[in-house]
Amino acid sequence: MLLCCPACKSRDIFPVAGGYMGQVYLCKSCRYRGSFVLEIDDPESAGTAEERESQENQVRN
Ligand SMILES: [Zn+2]
């Protein structure tokens, strides 16, 4: 699973030592800092591959 910056969508974000807020993440690209980050399981398959496959399965007459 990858972490993604909610502000600039950069993957250059990493967890830092959380204080009273709990886990905090810091983005190197835009200096975003917060407990909320985007989590991506597999960015390579985030496209429309599945949608295309379903369309190809339809037989044209
Ligand atoms: Zn960022």
By the 8 A CB rule, do 15 and 24 touch? yes
Q: How confident is the model at residue 54, as a pLDDT?
A: 60
pTM of the model: 0.59
**29 Cβ contact partners less than 8 Å away, ≥ 6 residues apart:** 5, 8, 10, 12, 13
**How does DSSP classify residue 41?**
S
* Dist. CA 12 → ligand 1 center (Å): 7
Digit-coded pLDDT (tens) for 4-59:
999 999 999 998 876 676 889 999 999 999 989 998 887 565 555 555 556 566 66
Q: How confident is the model at residue 61, as a pLDDT?
A: 66
* Dist. CA 11 → ligand 1 center (Å): 8
Q: How confident is the model at residue 38, as a pLDDT?
A: 92
pLDDT greater than 60 at residue 1 = yes
